[in-house]
């Protein structure tokens, strides 16, 4: 499976490729390099769209769930040793019996552009208790990353 980099990294790669054109072979023209970069950027956008669609499917499978965004908190994003961005997800169960939570975390750049989507399940949180899970990006994210709860369902 191919993993695509973020648009910011693609831009950096594009600039590197474009500034190094004097050493390229006859097959690499400025337009062909630009076309390759545009194609890669499109595929990166497709990866985020695919992750968002998969998150939607996960939520569609939940029956009799209630909106629980107000019951979910995130820690500040950190970068793990493998380069992936992670946040701890804490769900508080205000129901009278054990419940599970499915939470969509959106990872965005400082300018608000969506970089990645992660969906986690916090299973079997006792009544009145809390449970935790870790949301992890699917690829390395560049720049200052923020995270927010886009959707959360208790069931």
Mean pLDDT confidence for 27-51: 46
CB-based contact 6:141 (threshold 8 Å): yes
Chain centroid to CA 136: 7
Separation CA 39–CA 17 (nearest Å): 14
Identify the band that residue 59 occupies on the pLDDT scale cut at 50, 70 and 90: confident
User: Distance between CA 37 and CA 146 in Å, rounded?
Assistant: 26
pTM of the prediction? 0.65
Judge whether 19 and 33 are in contact, CB under 8 Å: no
């Amino acid at each position: 499976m191919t993993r695509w980099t973020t648009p910011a990294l693609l831009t950096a790669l594009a600039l590197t490729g474009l500034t190094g054109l004097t050493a390229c072979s006859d097959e690499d023209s400025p337009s062909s390099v630009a076309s390759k970069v545009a194609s890669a950027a499109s595929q990166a956008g497709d990866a985020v769209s695919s992750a968002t669609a998969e998150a939607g499917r996960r939520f569609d499978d939940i029956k009799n769930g209630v909106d629980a965004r107000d019951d979910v908190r995130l820690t500040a994003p950190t970068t793990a040793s493998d380069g992936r961005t992670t946040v701890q997800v804490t769900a508080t169960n205000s129901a009278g019996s054990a419940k599970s939570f499915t939470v969509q975390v959106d990872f965005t750049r400082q300018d608000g552009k969506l970089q990645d989507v992660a969906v986690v399940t916090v299973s079997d949180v006792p009544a009145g208790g809390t449970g935790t899970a870790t949301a992890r990006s699917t690829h390395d994210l560049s720049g200052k990353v923020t995270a927010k709860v886009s959707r959360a369902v208790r069931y």
